[in-house]
Structure 1
Amino acid sequence: MVELLDRKKSANWPELIGRCVVSFILVLLTQCSQFLVPQFFFDLPVFIQLLLSALLLLAVVGVVGWCRRLLRVRASAPAFVFCSVLFVWVVYIAIVRQAATHLMDLLFNGQIILLIFGLCRMLSSDPGLVSYSPSPSDLIAQSSSSEIDTYHQDTELGDRVRCCQICKAYVKGFDHHCPAFGNCIGHKNYLLFMVLLIGFLWTEATYLVCLSQYAAQFVVPDGDGTRLEISLSRKVASSTMLFSILQLVWQVLFLLWHMYCICFNIRTDEWIHWKRYPEFQIFIQSSHGEKSSEVRFKNPYDKGVLQNLKEFMASKR
């Protein structure tokens, strides 16, 4: 081990600004695709609208991915998340806020501010980086095509230090690299990650409550000359509702998975790639005492749900 070097390189501002602009355009395209559902299928049941919204979202992701590869432009996932939050906030202030109660208005705006602060904090947080000075033999092994050997080197560092294959950095308690938050999730910022994930769920649930108040209280008067404008506003609000519900469903599943990982003291990377880590492998012995080729998973870090939760809450932040 050597002293940890600064992992934050000087920002290439023209490239960074360009990626943020691309992300902003992608947010507009995504939200416009969601607007098509209430625009043409406003009278359909909400469940059918959700299915159409999900299909459109997948289609947009596929087409945008192909266009980005063709044009060789890059976007920023954290900027996409940030712009999506701002877009929903603008829709709330411009349309939905007029029907929300003072309590819900105060609650939602406060949540958005805390969410933006949490995103900035997560982006700059230390996931538990450690420094590792490879020996010449390690450099030879890393230059080979064997992925298993590279991961086996990580286990020699101890303390569940793993190598993020995206950042090429060693992280203690590495769970996964989160593109949406632009950072690795590890020992030091796992708790912040969970708090931020719950914050997203809470904010989206609050927004849906405000939308329900808007739908219940806002009535379009017959014969009003502003009927077209009001109808357009309601469709914009409905499109953000569909987007928020899809996000809510995905994030609930994501939260449940991480709660499971915390309760059984397992990390996502370890669960997916357990065959690359010797401590998670158990060899089944045959009846004649010979080692079988069958390898099963075992978790040597599981100390029971209560103790696992205690260690998680006591982790350094």
Structure 2
Amino acid sequence: MVELHDRKKPAKWPDLIGRCIVSLILVLLTQSTQFLVPHFFSDLSFFIQLLLSAMMLLTVASAAGWCRRLLRVRSSAPAFVFFSVLFVWLVYIAFVRQDASLLMNLLFNGQIILLIFGLCRMLFSDPGLVSHNPSPSDAIPQSLVLEIDTHHQDIGLGDRLRCCPICKTYVKGFDHHCPAFGNCIGHKNYVLFMVLLFGFIWTEATYITCLSQYSAESELLDGDGARLEVNFSRKVARSTMLFSILQLVWQNGRMDSLEEVSRISNCCSI
């Protein structure tokens, strides 16, 4: 059996807390800029609003990246995903829940809870790390590299051994490193990764369905005395709908690319 050096070191707590705070600020900034689209461009078609929303996301991402490099601060992608899910959940509870059916409430809340549980499980899961007793040097001998290359030719996709360029660790059945889930994807957690990815798509589709029903209900309240409150809640719901649709499109594209990568890797392994 090939045993390799594993140096996946956990970050220190002050650093983790700082990254989480930066991620929370980025989520609030992202959702605030998304709110500007239905607030100032409510008369435009939904498709145009979706394009504007995508442009706003790209602009915010570029500006946030520049600011982080300037201030030399780091964020956490898993924390960004968690706070984004939490924000959508709070919007649902505050505005959408009262117009949804009991079945839809149970379904969506259950999906959110399972997503959060899955995120925590994925973050701390073992993708199939291969380690050995620490040696004086971290360098891998050339003979060991040749042994690994030979090993690649004799095993299937689920048993291949590759080094993650992010974590600098060797993972059995390595597929890729997922920044959003903060972990490598290997033969031990690949199924969990795919289930979690399908879970995000299903939850976002459910949320968009709930928002469509809520928008239809709020249209009927436009003539009521609470018009200002209805307009505000509708804009918040519309902004999260735009964000969810963009996420849904991105994740569907990601799944297609992952299937293509897996197909190529399978061909290369034969």
Assess same fold via TM > 0.5. Answer: yes
- Kept in 1, the 8 Å contact 2:82–2:116? The answer is yes
| 1:47 counterpart = 2:41 | no
Q: How does 1:120-131 map to 2 (within 5 A)?
A: 120-131=120-131
**Cα distance in 1 between the residues matched to 2:194 and 2:45:** 33
Q: Does the Cα contact within 8 Å between 2:6 and 2:170 map onto a contact in 1?
A: no
SS across alignment from 1:162: strand
SS in 2 for 1:125: coil
Secondary structure (helix, strand or coil) at the match of 1:43 reads: coil
1:24–1:79 CA contact under 8 A, matched in 2: yes
Deviates more, 1:60-69 or 1:127-136: 127-136
Please tell me whether the aligned partners of residues 23 and 76 of structure 2 are also in contact (alpha carbons under 8 angstroms). Answer: yes
Q: After the TM superposition, which of the residue ranges 95-104 and 215-224 deviates more from structure 2?
A: 215-224
Residue 155 (1) aligns with residue 149 (2): yes
Kindly provide the CA deviation profile for residues 33-53 of structure 1, in whole angstroms up to 9, marking residues without a partner as x.
Answer: 111100111121111111000
Judged with a 3 Å threshold, the aligned counterparts in structure 2 of structure 1 residues 249 and 67 are, in CA distance, closer, same or farther, namely same
Deviation (angstroms), 1:132: 5.7
Q: Distance in 2 between matches of 1:248 and 1:88?
A: 14
Tell me, yes or no, if the aligned pair for 2:204 and 2:244 is still in contact at 8 Å: yes
Shift of the 115–228 alpha-carbon distance from structure 1 to 2, 3 Å rule, reads: same
Q: Equivalences for 1:120-269 in 2 at 5 Å?
A: 120-131=120-131, 139=139, 154-158=148-152, 159-218=159-218, 219-222=220-223, 224=225, 226-262=226-262, 264=263, 266=265
**Any idea what the Cα deviations from partners look like across 1:45-100, whole Å, max 9, x if unmatched?**
11111100000100000000000000111100000000000000000000011111
- Structure 2: state its 5+ residue gaps: 153-158
**2:72 alignment partner in structure 1:** 72
**Alignment gaps of 5+ in structure 1:** 143-149, 268-297, 302-317
In structure 2, what is the equivalent of residue 37 of structure 1? 37
Q: CA deviation at 1:131?
A: 2.1
Residue type of the alignment partner of 2:223: D
One-letter amino acid of the structure 2 residue matched with residue 245 of structure 1: I
Deviation of residue 216 (structure 1)? 1.2
Cα deviation code 1:128-149 (max 9, x no counterpart): 111268999993879xxxxxxx
Structure 1 SS opposite 2:269: coil
Corresponding residue of 1:299: 268
Task: Give the equivalent residue in structure 2 for 1:288.
Answer: none
**Given that residues 6 and 132 in structure 2 are in contact (C-alpha distance below 8 angstroms), is that contact kept between their aligned partners in structure 1?**
no
* Per-residue Cα deviation, 1:146-175 (whole angstroms, up to 9, x for no partner): xxxx98775245441000111010011111
Question: For the Cα contact (< 8 Å) 1:122–1:192, is it kept in 2?
Answer: yes
Measured in 2, the distance between the counterparts of 1:10 and 1:138 equals 18
- Which structure has the larger Rg? 1
TM-score norm. by structure 2 comes to 0.88
Letter in 2 for 1:192: L
Contact 1:151 1:162 in 2 (8 A): no
1:213 positional shift: 0.8
How many Å separate the matches in 2 of 1:72 and 1:94? 36
Higher strand share: 1
Displacement, 1:12?
Answer: 1.3
CA contact (8 A) 2:6 2:169 kept: no
State how far apart, in whole Å, the 2-side matches of 1:154 and 1:32 are: 49
Partners of 2:4 and 2:106 lie apart in 1 by 43
Range moving further from structure 2, 7-16 or 109-118: 7-16
SS of equivalent to 1:266: helix
8 Å contact kept, 1:31–1:239: yes
RMSD of equivalent CA atoms: 2.8
Distance 2:232 2:145 in 1: 54
**Within 2, Cα distance between the matches of 1:162 and 1:173?**
7
Distance between the aligned counterparts of 1:179 and 1:18, measured in 2?
A: 17
Give the structure with the higher percent helix: 2
CA distance in 2 between counterparts of 1:101 and 1:126 reads 39
